Amino acid sequence: MTNENTTHFGFKQVRTEEKVRMVRGVFDAVADKYDLMNDLMSLGIHRIWKRIAVQLANVRSGDQVLDLAGGTGDLTSLFEKRVGKKGQVVLADINSEMLRTGRNRLIDKGLTGNIRYAQVNAECLPFADNTFDCVCIGFGLRNVTDKDAALRSMHRVLKPGGRVIVLEFSHPTDKLTEKVYDFYSFKLLPKIGAVVAKDEDSYRYLAESIRMHPKQEELKKMMENAGLERCEYFNMTQGIVAVHRGYKI
């Protein structure tokens, strides 16, 4: 049970002010191996999940997009192709190491003209009201300390008619998938992290953070409470991942 001074860090209960530091430590540790680990964790399927999320975002030429918790830039590179030279994508992350890794990767790809970078906290975005046509957060909301504040902040910076896209690990829709996924997450994933990234604890936290993340219907309700409308979600891979979408009217 949490109170106003504590929150969850995986399965542990920690002081609220400590979580940001602890999450930063996790992603500082895994930044250089993040892309490789994503491929190993999802057997490469994360690339399909991200493409589906971008399709559901309905981003057009000239749009302004905020890629929150953008990490190493996978979603930013997909959005960049859609917004074109007249649009802009802001790759944003609270973690400087992840942001540096993403920036270097995108520059190496030659993607420089319409991408900006910002180190931000999703709970208090430093952008003006009604700035973006789309705000996307991919595999990052579960690491945010105050998810309700983050969703309200995303709603604030959206233009009327804009949409929030939340791509996140979620909860399997059937018992068999849940059982297999639990075995993989808690038995195999930390061991893969230990071998590949030399960091078993960080990948144990990542597995635990997925289990503590709100279920699909609960997250939909949280988005509605933040002011978003026409909220809906799309399960992928039997609910292992879900895309939530909501609009600012």
pLDDT tens across 175-190, in order?
Answer: 999 999 999 888 888 8
Q: Average pLDDT in the 74-87 region?
A: 96
Q: Say how many C-beta atoms besides its own lie within 10 A of residue 2's C-beta.
A: 10
**What is the reported pLDDT for 5?**
72
Q: Which of 2, 6, 26, 51 shows the shortest CA–CA distance to 209?
A: 26
The pTM for the full model equals 0.89
Q: 6-27: string of b/e by CB count within 10 Å (b at 16+)?
A: bbbbbeeebeeeebbeebbebb
DSSP state at residue 48:
H
Give 17-173+204-247's CATH code, choosing from 1.25.40.10, 3.40.190.10, 3.50.50.60, 3.40.50.150.
Answer: 3.40.50.150
Residue owning tokens 């997009």: 65
Hey, CA dihedral for 221, 227, 229, 235, is it positive or negative?
A: negative
Task: Specify binding-site residues.
Answer: 72, 93, 121-122
Question: In this structure, which amino acid lies at residue 237?
Answer: T
Between these two residues, 31 and 43, which has the higher pLDDT value?
Answer: 43
Q: Annotated binding site for S-adenosyl-L-methionine, which residues?
A: 72, 93, 121-122
* Residue 113: partners with Cβ closer than 8 Å, 6 or more residues away: 85
| Whole-Å CA distances, 4 to 7, 101, 147 | 8, 34, 14
Contact 224, 148 (CB under 8 A): no
Higher pLDDT, 4 or 197: 197
Per residue in 106-141, pLDDT tens?
Answer: 999 999 889 999 999 999 999 999 999 999 999 999
pLDDT at residue 185, rounded to an integer? 87
Report the mean per-residue pLDDT for the chain: 89
Domain segments of the chain as ranges: 17-173+204-247
